Every structure is written in C-alpha cells, then in structure tokens.
Chain A
Amino acid sequence: MNVDPGQADAILVARVLAGEKQAFIALVNEYQRLVLHLVFRLIPDARDREEVCQDVFVRVHQKLNTFRFESKLGTWISRIAFNTALNFIKIRRPILQPLNNEAEFQAAGPGELDDERRLIELVHRRMGGLSVEEKSVLTFYHLAGMSVTEISEIMGRPEGTIKSDLFRARKRLKDELEDLL
C-alpha cells in the first residue's frame, strides 16, 4: 500500500512526539542528506559540519510540537537548518582568501581526478566567495531541487529577491570560471 509523503511525515511526526526513539532516528535518516547539503555549502570547516547538523536535528526535536503541517516537513527542517547555519556563521565568520582559477583547478584534487570532478570541487570553492544568501539559494535550488516559492518560504524573502540572487550568483560563478567551463 502506498502512503503519500505528507501522510507518511504526519505519522512520523506523531510517533516522534509520542517519544518513540526509533521514529526520531528514522526522521534523522530521512532528512540528514538535505541538511548536510546546505551545511556543506555554508560551513567551510569540515570539522564543524557534523556538529551543526546535530544542532539542527536537536532543534527539530525541540520544536517539532510547533510544526503545524502548513508546509512540507522538509521545507520546515530546511528553514531550521538555514537559521542554525546562519547563527553559526555569525559567531565564526570564515576568512575569505583570494582565488586563482588555474592554480586552484590543479590543486582541486589529485591528478587522477577527472576534469568534471575538479570543476565541481572548484565551483564549491568559488561558492565560498558568495554571500550566505546566494550560497543558500543555489543549494536549495540546484542540490535540493526546491522551487523558488519553497526557497522564499524557507529564507523568509520575496520570490523576486530569490530569483535575482539565483541569477546574480550563477552569473558571477560563470564569469569567474569562464576559462574552465
């Protein structure tokens, strides 16, 4: 029997609120990739990422009783992830360094890595130079496959702003990596 995702989430949330530990573990397993994607792009230090991801799910557990199913559970968790990562960045602002395409392209990975993989790595590094909002918008849109409306809901910004952030961020990346694309 197929259960629609909304109904499955409702059942999962009810079980977590009833104090079922296995249900919470299932919830974490279900949404940890989504959270990691965002945290991976926003938090530069790999050592901090797991801690931030844990903080996100601890908050999810604390606030789950306030979730009213007015949006998808994934959207709601993404909003918590975004705010948690944002708070973390405010406390520990990363130091940005000037980048050099060619040198970085060579340094992006060992020789046996194919160009495609190096380009992915380089794009990720270049995203470090974008604003938090631009990085988040790119991640939600391209990696999590969310719509502009959903992103607008998560970030609490108008759809027009999300669209212009998307355009500006992609154009900047394209211009910066022009010779490698």
Chain B
Amino acid sequence: MTDETTQAYLDGDGPAPADEGNLSKYRRLYSALAAEPDEQLADQFAMRVAARVADQSVVNLGNILTVLTVTALGIIALLAIALSLPYVTLELSVFAAPFSWIMQLSLTWVYSAGIVVLLYCIDRWVSASQAEF
C-alpha cells in the first residue's frame, strides 16, 4: 500500500505518504528515470535521413516506371492478341464474330486504362521534378 500511495503522491495524484524513507527512495528513482541519456545522435543525422529519403524517392520512381512499363507492354500484348485473333483461323473468326461487342468493350477499357496510366505517369513525373526529394 505504501508503494501505491508514494507513487500516487509523486505523480501529483494523492496525499503525502507517511513512510519518508520509501518516499526518498522513490524520489531518487524518479530522478534517475527522468535523467536524459548522454548519448546523442550524430550532428549530421537529419541530413543523413534526408539523403535516405531522397534515395528512396528515386527508387520509388524507378519502381513506378517499371510497373508502368510492364503495364504498357501488357496492354500492347492484349491489343495485339485481340486484333489478330479473328485472322488466325476461319473457325476462330466465326467463333469470335458474335462476341465482337465484348472485344470492342475490352478495347475501350484497355484504351481508357492506358490513358489513366499515362496521366498518372505524367503527374508523378511533374511531382517528382517539383519536389526536392
């Protein structure tokens, strides 16, 4: 009980405890706990972190460009398949004819996705060139 009342008192949340000896020990402990460590970070710490962030921004931009390139290649591959499919064999052409609307819809979707990706790419490029990182 004396520990609880002593800690509560030192936390500013209770009356003074009767046990002065215990209070004195806790005072020393509180003082040691509040003492700042001698250890400090290097003078150039903030600069180092900023350099790391800048490096990561370059890496991130590189990753985005890789994803965009793969996406663009995928779109081109899909388009090539979609456009050439009816010409591969007569059977395939006959088979594909009733579903041409699906093909048109897919092509529209692919074109739209391509435009969105292109706009996103331009936006990222502009942002990256404006930022210092």
Contact = CB atoms under 8 A, between A and B. Distances in A.
Contacts, number: 97
B36 A53 contact: no
A12 interface: no
A72 interface: no
A111 interface: no
Contact of A142 (B33, B53, B127): B33
A29 B34 CA distance: 21
A37 B37 contact: yes
B40 A21 contact: no
B111 interface: no
A32 B45 contact: yes
Contacts of B53: 24, 57-58, 61
Interface residues of A, number: 40
A57 B36 contact: no
Given A37-B37, A58-B53, A123 B132 contact: no
A25 interface: yes
B3 interface: yes
A41 B35 CA distance: 12
B40 A36 contact: yes
Contacts of A46: 39
B124 interface: no
A18 B130 CA distance: 9
A54 B52 contact: yes
Contact of A119 (B3, B28, B47, B132): B28
Interface in B48-99: 48-50, 52-54, 56
5 contacts: A28-B50, A33-B36, A58-B49, A120-B35, A174-B26
Interface of B: 3-4, 7, 24-26, 28-37, 39-42, 45-50, 52-54, 56, 127, 130-133
Interface of A: 18-21, 24-25, 28-29, 32-33, 36-37, 40-41, 46, 49-50, 53-54, 57-58, 61-62, 116, 119-120, 123-124, 138, 142-143, 166-167, 170-171, 173-174, 177-178, 181
